[in-house]
A and B are shown apart, each in its own frame.
Chain A
Amino acid sequence: MKNGHDFLIITNNPLVERCLGEYYSVEMFEEASYRDILVKVRDLVYASHTLYTHPLSGSVKPNETPYKSVVVSKVPHTFDPGEAEIIAYCIEAFDKFKPRGITLTDPVKRDFQLIDYTLICGAVDFDAAAGLSKIK
């Protein structure tokens, strides 16, 4: 079973902070890029935090969306080389996408936030729609 008490959500997505902050530990890095989030997660995995969700969740390409949320354990457990490998591959995969030079409009940003939010909700078994209806 999933233990929500041990979840720490590393994110740069304001919607995740707003909807999930009440229920889980959320560490919000407003200024962080998608890649910055991956690097923070990598450092935590290196420091023996468990990686709970796949860092490249979603088929939205990393140069397409600016938002990324990843769930790790709140406290260090045992270092897992398999998890370290996954996050390393993800950073490598990120780097092969060319920056696209696009300024996103607010509605598009909100859509990207929503996708990232629902992906992470699915992973932690949180009712995404219920979370949204509460903030509106």
Chain B
Amino acid sequence: MKLELGFIEIKDIQFSNECKVENGTLFVDAEAVKAFVYEDDDVKAYVKSACFDIAKPGESVRITPVKDVIEPRVKVEGPGGQFPGVIAKVDTVGSGRTHVLRGMAIVTAGKIVGFQEGIIDMSGPGAEYTPFSKLNNLVMVCEPVEGVHQHDYERAVRIAGLRAATFVGELGRNVTPDEVQSFETYGIKEGIEKFPTLPRVAYVHMLQSQGLLHDTYVYGVDAKRTLTTILYPTETMDGAIISGNCVSACDKNTTYHHQNNPVVADLFEQHGKTLNYVCNIITNENVYLADKQRSSDWSAKLCRLLDLDGVIVSQEGFGNPDTDLIMNTKKIEQMGVKTTIITDEYAGQDGKSQSLADADPLADAVVTGGNANEVIVLPPMEKVIGTLNYVDVIAGGHAGSLREDGSIEAELQVITGATNEMGFNRLSAR
């Protein structure tokens, strides 16, 4: 399956009374985006208000609490559309051509529950830790209708973000991209014939799937209801997987992370050179132990069935997923398939505790995204998009985290994407 991505560089966003992309600037009419977002019944029923703001790299701006980050894209050729099974119909994506508004994102923010997490600082020390400080962000701050159930509201805000991204992505349909790249993986036999000497490598992509505020959707299906299965890597790149995960800001995979999965990108970079990138294996992180056993058994089984030589395994979240990570790794290694895993660490504020909630000697090749418990001080910002009301309550914050001058002393956990477990960042620990 072959996918072409046409990248349109977005260097600036401006509010305007029209909507267009011109010379690297996105002009956007907030009312028009809002109108499109509100065409959805759930949004209409549960989202009281949606306000837009713009945050640019280097500005003294803090966005919090962040729910999701989404890159606007549009399908210009081939089957399917953006976010299949959720926004577009469920047709298989991952082929044809998709335009990407690169350098920007839609950020959804606002309270979902009373401990809503996630901070994006656009400048200062905090900006070093989040990849989203480097993007021009169109921020949509939502508020719930009074008395709405949290699960209804979470779904509505999730859809609202995806709809906003779809609307903005559409503006790139007829723009000539600055750069076009193509990505292709092959059928089993075809791949072996093409690269007879290269090691066969896949990506075991673990998806957060524990419940409310902890979910991931694949073609619109709740991942906790799925069996371990196979995707073309280009499907992931084309919006097949979206995030419904609002907890553990530092190591949750936003929709942006799924669209720009760095493991997929870096495996593609070596594809046909040093390795044969076969496929992605997606597997879940359920709470029920028998589900864990089944899912990890299936990961290992598929690795064997596909005659793989090696896999990269990435996880998402804290605690419970460590067990899935170790189960997957151990069973895949026992099948004779070599593994490298990506995780982050909760080693305590002093860095002295055991980093994971599970361990096995077969997990001998680990890449880490850093210790999420490390304490950081974020200086005050001139402008806050969203609200600072929840800073004391969120994970990694403590009583008095939010100081009078607006600065925040908290663990790295509070920063969206800081210790990403797909290996999105350069942060590490030893």
Residue ranges of A at the interface with B (Cβ–Cβ < 8 Å): 2, 51-54, 56-62, 64-65, 83, 86, 89-90, 92-93, 95-98, 100-105, 107-108, 110-112, 114-115, 118-124, 128-129, 132
B353 to A: closest C-beta gap in Å: 4
Complex CA–CA separation, A115 to B288 (angstroms): 16
Nearest residue (CB) in B for A132 is B149
A115 touches B395 (CB 8 A): no
Closest chain B CB from A77 CB (angstroms): 13
By a CB distance below 8 angstroms, the chain A residues around B320 are: 54, 56-59
Q: Contact: A58 with B214, CB < 8 Å? A: yes
B392 interfacial contact with A, CB 8 Å: yes
- Taking a contact as CB atoms under 8 Å apart, the answer to whether A90 and B287 are in contact is no
B358–A53 touching, CB < 8 Å: no
- For residue A129, give the distance in angstroms from its CB to the closest CB of chain B: 6
Cβ contact within 8 Å between A102 and B392: yes
Contacts A58-B320, A59-B252, A102-B399 given; does A53 touch B115 at CB 8 Å: no
Q: A57 near B210 (CB under 8 angstroms)?
A: yes
Among B349, B357, B393, B396, which residue has its beta carbon within 8 angstroms of that of A93?
A: B357
A51–B211 CA distance with the chains assembled, in angstroms: 19
Q: Would you call A119 and B211 a contact (CB within 8 A)? A: yes
Contact string against A for B residues 386-404, beta-carbon threshold 8 Å, 1 for contact and 0 otherwise: 0000001111111110000
Bound-state CA distance A59–B224 (Å) is 15
How many positions in chain B have a CB within 8 Å of any CB in the partner chain?
Answer: 50
| Contact in complex: B286, A64 (CB < 8 Å) | no
B115 touches A111 (CB 8 A): yes
Q: Is B226 close to A, CB under 8 A?
A: no
B210 touches A58 (CB 8 A): yes
Interchain CB contact under 8 A, B214 and A61: no
Contact of B114 among A56, A105, A121 (CB under 8 A): A105
Q: Does the CB pair A108–B115 fall under 8 Å?
A: yes
- Give CA–CA (A118, B212) in the complex, Å: 6
Bound CA span A78–B29, Å: 64
Q: What 1/0 flags go to B285-311 for Cβ under 8 Å of A? A: 011111010000000000000000000
Q: How far is the CA of A50 from the CA of B398 in the complex (A)?
A: 35
With A86-B358, A90-B319, A100-B397 as known contacts, state yes or no: A59 contacts B210, CB within 8 Å.
yes
B213 nearest CB neighbor, chain A only: A115
User: In the complex, which of the residues A61, A86, A90, A115 contacts B413, with contact meaning CB atoms closer than 8 Å?
Assistant: A61
B37: min CB distance to chain A, Å: 24
B211 touches A121 (CB 8 A): yes
| CB proximity of B210 to chain A, nearest CB, Å | 6
Residue of B nearest to A122 (CB): B211
Distance from B351 Cβ to chain A, minimum over Cβ atoms (Å): 10
Going nearest first, the 3 A-B pairs with the smallest beta carbon separation are A56-B319, A96-B353, A59-B248
- B-chain residues with CB within 8 Å of residue A122 when the two chains form the complex: 210-212, 224, 286-287
